[in-house]
């Protein structure tokens, strides 16, 4: 068992939407915590460092209160500064082995692998706890993302780390990704833009709880 699968339940990997208003962002996330996502990633591509720290600290407090692991996107120094549970990095975010060395053994390290198997093997060799593949489906959040095949998820289970699917995931297309082997489904818009985000998040959790990847109930 890897640190990722030991410490994180299978289920919904929630990622925050872009939102400059911290109070509004915190309220949106707080409303989702009763659905008990497996993990929350703080992702913001536009605020300055001080703004991101303010948001990350506020969200981390709520996640700790709810027992939800908290991951910071891109920014290892921010993750260390606020004592987050880990960091997620992609091809523009630094060398994985160097990041692992700086992060220490205890914090979680997720790595984006896009549609590239070789990137996943290299990430695990360099100390990744989790590999993420995407985009599984066209994403409105990241329209330029390259398409990735669900078969990568199946193959990645043999790597012995957490396996995450991302990109354009909806409650309708999610069961196929669970069936393909994803431990978690990373989602932004299908949850945060749903009419009832908490109900939507609970429906994702149910995909895993039931053990029936063919049911969306
Ligand atoms: C769980 C998860 N998977 C993939 C990504 C994308 O990371 P990256 O390619 O570094 O792109 P940005 O998110 O930084 O724009 C992710 N954030 N989380
Ligand atoms: C941040 C991100 N990374 C992707 C990748 O393919 O690596 S797709 C993506 C956006 C995910 O948002 P949504 O659930 O709204 O599609
Ligand atoms: Mg990144």
| Mean pLDDT within 163-190 | 98
pLDDT at 213 over 60: no
- Per-residue pLDDT of 7-60, as tens digits, reads 999 999 999 999 999 999 999 999 999 999 999 999 999 999 999 999 999 999
Average pLDDT, the chain: 96
pTM for the structure as a whole: 0.96
Domain boundaries, the chain: 11-207
The CATH number given to 11-207 is 3.20.20.70
Q: Is the minimum distance from the CB of 119 to ligand 1 under 6 angstroms?
A: no
How many C-beta atoms lie closer than 10 Å to residue 92's C-beta?
A: 7
| Mean pLDDT within 171-183 | 98
Please choose, from the candidates 213, 170, 162, 215, the residue with its C-alpha nearest in 3D space to the C-alpha of residue 192: 170
Q: Measured between alpha carbons, how far is 58 from 63 in angstroms, rounded to an integer?
A: 9
Q: Is the minimum distance from the CB of 123 to ligand 1 under 6 angstroms?
A: no
Ligand 2, atom 1, residue with closest C-alpha: 142
Ramachandran angles phi, psi of 158, nearest 5°: -70, -15
Q: Measured between alpha carbons, how far is 87 from 103 in angstroms, rounded to an integer?
A: 9
pLDDT at 175 over 70: yes
Computed on alpha carbons and rounded to an integer, the radius of gyration of the chain in Å comes to 16
Q: Is the minimum distance from the CB of 183 to ligand 1 under 6 angstroms?
A: no
Centroid of ligand 1 to alpha carbon of 179 (angstroms):
22
Q: How confident is the model at residue 209 (pLDDT cuts 50, 70, 90)?
A: confident
- Residue 74 near residue 89, CB atoms below 8 Å: yes
pLDDT of residue 210: 62
pLDDT at 212 over 90: no
Pocket test for ligand 1, best of 90, 140, 177 (most atoms within 8 A of CB): 90
pLDDT at 211 over 90: no
| Mean pLDDT within 80-97 | 98
pLDDT of residue 205: 96
pLDDT at 216 over 60: no
In angstroms, the first-to-last Cα distance of the chain is 29
- Per-residue pLDDT of 93-124, as tens digits, reads 999 999 999 999 999 999 999 999 999 999 99
- Residue 118 CB contacts under 8 Å (≥ 6 apart), including other chains: none
Q: Measured between alpha carbons, how far is 147 from 217 in angstroms, rounded to an integer?
A: 27
| Mean pLDDT within 120-134 | 98
pLDDT at 176 over 80: yes
């Amino acid at each position: 068992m890897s640190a990722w699968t030991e410490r994180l339940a299978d289920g919904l990997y929630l990622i925050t939407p872009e939102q400059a208003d911290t109070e509004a962002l915190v309220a949106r996330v707080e409303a989702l915590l009763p659905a008990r996502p497996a993990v929350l990633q703080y992702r913001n591509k536009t605020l300055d460092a001080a703004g991101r720290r303010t948001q990350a600290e506020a969200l981390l407090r709520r996640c700790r209160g709810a027992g939800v692991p908290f991951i910071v996107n891109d920014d290892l120094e921010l993750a260390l500064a606020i004592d987050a549970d880990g960091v997620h990095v992609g091809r523009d975010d630094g060398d994985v082995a160097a990041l692992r060395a700086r992060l220490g053994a205890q914090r979680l390290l997720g790595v984006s692998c896009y549609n590239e198997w070789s990137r996943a093997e290299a990430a695990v060799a360099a100390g990744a706890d989790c590999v993420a593949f995407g985009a599984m489906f066209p994403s409105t959040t990241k329209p330029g993302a390259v398409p990735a095949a669900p078969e990568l998820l199946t193959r990645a289970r043999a790597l012995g780390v957490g396996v995450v699917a991302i990109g354009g995931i909806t409650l309708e297309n999610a069961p196929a990704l669970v069936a393909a082997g994803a431990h978690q489904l990373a989602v932004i818009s299908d949850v945060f833009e749903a009419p009832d985000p908490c109900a939507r998040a609970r429906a994702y959790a149910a995909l895993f709880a039931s053990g029936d990847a063919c049911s969306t109930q």
